[in-house]
Homo-oligomer: A and B are copies of this chain.
Protein backbone atom coordinates (compact mmCIF):
# COMPACT_ATOMS: atom_id res chain seq x y z
CA UNK A 1 0.00 0.00 0.00
CA UNK A 2 1.30 3.40 -0.94
CA UNK A 3 1.54 5.79 1.99
CA UNK A 4 0.00 9.20 1.53
CA UNK A 5 -0.09 12.43 3.40
CA UNK A 6 -2.08 15.59 2.97
CA UNK A 7 -0.98 19.05 3.96
CA UNK A 8 -3.67 21.69 4.27
CA UNK A 9 -2.91 25.35 4.90
CA UNK A 10 -5.37 27.13 7.17
CA UNK A 11 -6.36 30.32 5.38
CA UNK A 12 -8.53 33.11 6.72
CA UNK A 13 -6.84 33.67 10.08
CA UNK A 14 -7.27 37.20 11.41
CA UNK A 15 -4.32 39.38 12.34
CA UNK A 16 -2.87 37.97 15.58
CA UNK A 17 -2.22 40.46 18.37
CA UNK A 18 -0.75 40.17 21.87
CA UNK A 19 -3.00 38.30 24.25
CA UNK A 20 -4.95 36.52 21.53
CA UNK A 21 -6.07 32.95 22.09
CA UNK A 22 -4.12 31.37 19.25
CA UNK A 23 -5.75 27.94 19.53
CA UNK A 24 -9.19 29.54 19.19
CA UNK A 25 -8.14 31.59 16.17
CA UNK A 26 -6.69 28.52 14.48
CA UNK A 27 -9.66 26.26 15.22
CA UNK A 28 -12.19 28.89 14.15
CA UNK A 29 -10.37 29.48 10.88
CA UNK A 30 -10.06 25.73 10.27
CA UNK A 31 -13.74 25.36 10.98
CA UNK A 32 -14.70 28.12 8.54
CA UNK A 33 -12.58 26.40 5.86
CA UNK A 34 -14.14 23.03 6.58
CA UNK A 35 -10.86 21.56 7.83
CA UNK A 36 -11.30 18.99 10.54
CA UNK A 37 -8.55 18.68 13.15
CA UNK A 38 -8.24 15.03 14.15
CA UNK A 39 -6.14 12.77 16.36
CA UNK A 40 -2.85 12.00 14.63
CA UNK A 41 -2.64 15.32 12.80
CA UNK A 42 0.46 17.45 13.06
CA UNK A 43 -0.22 21.16 13.40
CA UNK A 44 2.64 23.23 12.02
CA UNK A 45 2.53 26.82 13.27
CA UNK A 46 4.94 29.55 12.25
CA UNK A 47 6.87 31.15 15.05
CA UNK A 48 5.71 34.62 14.05
CA UNK A 49 2.08 34.17 15.07
CA UNK A 50 3.07 32.56 18.35
CA UNK A 51 5.42 35.44 19.11
CA UNK A 52 2.69 37.94 18.27
CA UNK A 53 0.10 36.20 20.46
CA UNK A 54 2.63 36.11 23.29
CA UNK A 55 3.52 39.76 22.88
CA UNK A 56 7.14 39.01 21.99
CA UNK A 57 7.36 42.26 20.08
CA UNK A 58 9.73 45.18 20.50
CA UNK A 59 9.37 48.67 19.07
CA UNK A 60 12.58 49.81 17.39
CA UNK A 61 12.09 53.35 18.69
CA UNK A 62 12.11 52.10 22.28
CA UNK A 63 15.71 50.83 21.91
CA UNK A 64 18.91 52.72 22.69
CA UNK A 65 21.78 50.90 21.01
CA UNK A 66 25.08 50.27 22.79
CA UNK A 67 28.39 51.41 21.37
CA UNK A 68 29.12 47.85 20.25
CA UNK A 69 25.75 47.55 18.50
CA UNK A 70 26.45 50.82 16.68
CA UNK A 71 29.80 49.54 15.49
CA UNK A 72 28.32 46.21 14.32
CA UNK A 73 25.52 48.10 12.59
CA UNK A 74 27.98 50.29 10.75
CA UNK A 75 29.91 47.21 9.62
CA UNK A 76 26.85 45.25 8.52
CA UNK A 77 24.64 48.01 7.18
CA UNK A 78 21.92 47.17 9.68
CA UNK A 79 19.89 49.42 12.00
CA UNK A 80 21.86 49.76 15.28
CA UNK A 81 18.68 49.34 17.34
CA UNK A 82 17.89 46.11 15.49
CA UNK A 83 21.43 44.89 16.22
CA UNK A 84 20.97 45.79 19.88
CA UNK A 85 17.86 43.61 20.06
CA UNK A 86 19.66 40.76 18.28
CA UNK A 87 22.53 40.92 20.76
CA UNK A 88 20.06 40.91 23.62
CA UNK A 89 18.56 37.68 22.30
CA UNK A 90 21.97 36.03 21.76
CA UNK A 91 24.32 34.22 24.04
CA UNK A 92 27.16 33.91 21.57
CA UNK A 93 28.20 35.22 18.17
CA UNK A 94 29.01 32.39 15.77
CA UNK A 95 29.98 34.42 12.70
CA UNK A 96 29.97 38.09 11.88
CA UNK A 97 31.05 38.90 8.40
CA UNK A 98 29.89 40.29 5.06
CA UNK A 99 26.77 41.85 6.51
CA UNK A 100 25.66 38.62 8.16
CA UNK A 101 25.25 38.21 11.90
CA UNK A 102 24.89 34.58 12.94
CA UNK A 103 24.39 34.00 16.62
CA UNK A 104 23.42 31.35 19.06
CA UNK A 105 20.11 32.27 20.66
CA UNK A 106 19.43 31.93 24.34
CA UNK A 107 17.69 28.63 23.50
CA UNK A 108 20.78 27.37 21.65
CA UNK A 109 19.56 27.74 18.05
CA UNK A 110 22.20 28.94 15.62
CA UNK A 111 20.64 31.30 13.09
CA UNK A 112 20.82 34.73 11.49
CA UNK A 113 19.97 37.66 13.76
CA UNK A 114 18.94 35.43 16.68
CA UNK A 115 15.61 34.93 14.93
CA UNK A 116 14.69 38.61 15.39
CA UNK A 117 12.72 39.72 12.37
CA UNK A 118 10.80 42.76 11.16
CA UNK A 119 8.62 41.11 8.51
CA UNK A 120 4.97 40.25 9.08
CA UNK A 121 5.04 41.77 12.56
CA UNK A 122 1.96 43.87 12.00
CA UNK A 123 3.45 47.36 11.90
CA UNK A 124 6.54 49.16 10.65
CA UNK A 125 9.28 49.54 13.25
CA UNK A 126 8.11 46.49 15.15
CA UNK A 127 10.43 43.50 15.68
CA UNK A 128 9.31 39.99 16.58
CA UNK A 129 11.51 37.93 18.91
CA UNK A 130 11.43 34.16 19.22
CA UNK A 131 9.13 32.90 21.98
CA UNK A 132 10.78 32.61 25.39
CA UNK A 133 10.01 28.90 25.62
CA UNK A 134 9.02 27.53 22.19
CA UNK A 135 8.41 23.99 23.48
CA UNK A 136 6.18 25.38 26.19
CA UNK A 137 4.28 27.48 23.66
CA UNK A 138 3.82 24.43 21.44
CA UNK A 139 2.60 22.37 24.39
CA UNK A 140 0.11 25.08 25.39
CA UNK A 141 -1.29 25.04 21.89
CA UNK A 142 -1.38 21.24 21.78
CA UNK A 143 -3.26 21.10 25.07
CA UNK A 144 -5.70 23.83 24.08
CA UNK A 145 -6.50 22.02 20.83
CA UNK A 146 -7.07 18.78 22.71
CA UNK A 147 -9.31 20.47 25.27
CA UNK A 148 -11.51 22.05 22.62
CA UNK A 149 -11.66 19.29 20.05
CA UNK A 150 -10.69 16.10 21.84
CA UNK A 151 -8.10 15.55 19.10
CA UNK A 152 -4.66 14.43 20.16
CA UNK A 153 -2.39 16.28 17.76
CA UNK A 154 1.31 17.03 17.68
CA UNK A 155 2.52 20.61 17.29
CA UNK A 156 5.61 21.81 15.41
CA UNK A 157 6.56 25.48 15.65
CA UNK A 158 8.48 26.41 12.52
CA UNK A 159 10.91 29.18 11.71
CA UNK A 160 12.84 30.25 8.63
CA UNK A 161 16.56 29.50 8.83
CA UNK A 162 19.32 29.88 6.29
CA UNK A 163 22.06 27.30 6.15
CA UNK A 164 25.73 27.15 5.20
CA UNK A 165 26.67 26.04 1.69
CA UNK A 166 23.19 26.28 0.22
CA UNK A 167 21.19 29.17 -1.14
CA UNK A 168 17.66 29.85 -0.01
CA UNK A 169 16.03 29.34 3.33
CA UNK A 170 14.35 26.23 4.67
CA UNK A 171 12.05 25.78 7.65
CA UNK A 172 13.15 24.18 10.89
CA UNK A 173 11.35 23.20 14.07
CA UNK A 174 12.12 25.48 17.01
CA UNK A 175 9.38 24.24 19.31
CA UNK A 176 7.58 20.94 19.66
CA UNK A 177 4.83 19.16 21.49
CA UNK A 178 3.69 15.57 21.28
CA UNK A 179 6.15 14.10 18.79
CA UNK A 180 9.78 13.06 18.76
CA UNK A 181 11.75 15.31 16.39
CA UNK A 182 14.28 12.67 15.33
CA UNK A 183 13.40 9.35 13.74
CA UNK A 184 16.05 6.97 14.99
CA UNK A 185 17.34 4.16 12.79
CA UNK A 186 20.29 3.18 14.97
CA UNK A 187 21.20 -0.46 14.51
CA UNK A 188 18.55 -0.96 11.84
CA UNK A 189 19.43 -2.65 8.59
CA UNK A 190 18.37 -1.89 5.05
CA UNK A 191 16.67 -4.47 2.84
CA UNK A 192 20.10 -6.00 2.07
CA UNK A 193 21.25 -6.36 5.67
CA UNK A 194 23.52 -3.31 5.63
CA UNK A 195 23.38 -1.32 8.85
CA UNK A 196 22.31 2.21 8.02
CA UNK A 197 24.91 4.95 8.15
CA UNK A 198 22.28 7.64 8.58
CA UNK A 199 20.84 6.95 11.96
CA UNK A 200 18.71 9.98 12.72
CA UNK A 201 16.34 11.80 10.43
CA UNK A 202 15.13 15.24 11.49
CA UNK A 203 11.47 14.57 10.76
CA UNK A 204 10.31 17.66 12.66
CA UNK A 205 12.34 19.85 10.31
CA UNK A 206 10.97 17.97 7.32
CA UNK A 207 7.43 18.58 8.59
CA UNK A 208 8.21 22.28 9.02
CA UNK A 209 9.59 22.51 5.48
CA UNK A 210 6.70 20.53 4.01
CA UNK A 211 4.19 22.87 5.65
CA UNK A 212 5.80 25.93 4.09
CA UNK A 213 4.93 24.56 0.66
CA UNK A 214 1.29 25.45 1.41
CA UNK A 215 2.03 28.53 3.51
CA UNK A 216 4.30 30.74 1.43
CA UNK A 217 5.53 34.03 2.84
CA UNK A 218 2.89 36.44 1.58
CA UNK A 219 -0.33 34.45 1.68
CA UNK A 220 -1.07 34.96 5.37
CA UNK A 221 -1.31 31.25 6.04
CA UNK A 222 0.59 30.82 9.29
CA UNK A 223 -0.70 27.35 10.14
CA UNK A 224 -0.90 24.06 8.26
CA UNK A 225 -2.26 20.65 9.20
CA UNK A 226 -0.36 17.55 8.14
CA UNK A 227 -2.61 14.50 7.91
CA UNK A 228 -1.45 10.93 7.47
CA UNK A 229 2.05 11.27 8.89
CA UNK A 230 2.60 8.56 11.51
CA UNK A 231 4.77 10.30 14.08
CA UNK A 232 6.39 8.84 17.14
CA UNK A 233 4.64 10.31 20.17
CA UNK A 234 6.69 11.24 23.19
CA UNK A 235 8.03 13.97 25.39
CA UNK A 236 9.29 16.40 22.83
CA UNK A 237 11.78 19.19 22.78
CA UNK A 238 13.22 21.00 19.79
CA UNK A 239 16.40 21.11 21.85
CA UNK A 240 17.05 17.55 20.65
CA UNK A 241 17.60 19.04 17.19
CA UNK A 242 20.46 21.23 18.39
CA UNK A 243 23.88 19.66 17.95
CA UNK A 244 26.07 19.90 21.03
CA UNK A 245 28.76 22.50 20.65
CA UNK A 246 31.45 19.87 21.34
CA UNK A 247 30.23 17.73 18.44
CA UNK A 248 29.83 20.63 16.01
CA UNK A 249 32.57 21.33 13.48
CA UNK A 250 31.15 24.68 12.42
CA UNK A 251 30.82 26.68 15.60
In whole angstroms, what is the CA distance A3 to B191 when docked?
A: 37
Of B6, B182, B192, B250, the residue contacting A122 (CB under 8 A) is B192
Of B4, B181, B250, the residue contacting A7 (CB under 8 A) is B4
Check if A9 is an interface residue, CB within 8 A of chain B.
Answer: yes
Q: Which residue of the partner chain B has the closest CB to A166?
A: B241
Check if A235 is an interface residue, CB within 8 A of chain B.
Answer: no
Of B167, B207, B240, the residue contacting A167 (CB under 8 A) is B240
Check if A110 is an interface residue, CB within 8 A of chain B.
Answer: yes
Is A33 a contact partner of B2 (Cβ separation < 8 A)? yes
Offer 7 A-B interface pairs, CB within 8 angstroms, sorted by A: A2-B221, A3-B219, A95-B249, A95-B250, A121-B194, A165-B248, A167-B200
In whole angstroms, what is the CA distance A1 to B9 when docked?
A: 9
Given contacts A163-B163, A182-B168, A249-B102, contact A124 B201 (CB under 8 A): no
Check if A137 is an interface residue, CB within 8 A of chain B.
Answer: no
Given contacts A6-B6, A120-B194, contact A218 B188 (CB under 8 A): yes
Given contacts A181-B168, A250-B164, contact A197 B8 (CB under 8 A): no
Most buried by B among A3, A9, A203, A214: A3
